[in-house]
Amino acid sequence: MGTEETLRRRRDIPDEAIEELVAKAAKLQDDAVLAADQMASSQDIEAVASELNIAPEFVEQAIESWRSEQSQLASHGPQSRIAKRRKKTMKIVTGLALTTCAVAVGSVVLGLTVFGLKGLLAVGAVGVLGLGFLIWLIS
């Protein structure tokens, strides 16, 4: 029984998706074979090392060291990217908050000095309307 026939018998896969799934599976298999072909085997590395007069035990140590480094990079990669993204986001949020506070204080001082108490009330009303507009946009 072929792959296509097996997929057609499954009830959780619609018939119109089978061709796409087979093509995707074939591409994944081709990619895996290509990746395997591009990797050097231990024997390949040892053959090159013997041509360079490097003892086999040092080749094994190098391979183990490399594997250890790769596993550490794989385990710490996403965490460090998330931490960097978090720091960048916090810097942006902090900058926006400080800018907003500075604009608010400046508006209050300007409204009070130029227009007096009525100006201060007008600035407050505009601020409340602006804040209400932003809340409306977000929700």
Contact status, residue 21 vs residue 3, Cβ threshold 8 Å: no
Q: Give the span between the Cα atoms of 97 and 89, in whole angstroms.
A: 12
Closest to 103 measured CA to CA, from 131, 132, 133:
131
Is position 78 within any domain?
yes
Query: The domain containing residue 104 runs over which residues?
Result: 40-138
Is position 119 within any domain?
yes
Give how many domains the chain has, as a whole number. 1
Is position 126 within any domain?
yes
Q: Give the mean pLDDT of the chain.
A: 80
In the chain, % helix, strand, coil (3-state, to 5) comes to 90, 0, 10
Please write the tens of the pLDDT for every residue from 29-79.
877 777 666 677 777 777 777 777 888 788 778 878 888 887 776 666 667
User: Once rounded to an integer, what is the mean pLDDT over residues 1-25?
Assistant: 80
Output the pLDDT for position 21.
81
Output the pLDDT for position 77.
63
Is position 33 within any domain?
no
Output the pLDDT for position 9.
81
What global pTM score does this model have? 0.36
Is position 14 within any domain?
no
Is position 122 within any domain?
yes
Output the pLDDT for position 116.
81
Closest to 40 measured CA to CA, from 23, 24, 63:
63
Asked if the model's pLDDT at residue 86 lies above 80, the reply is yes
Asked if the model's pLDDT at residue 26 lies above 70, the reply is yes
Output the pLDDT for position 37.
67
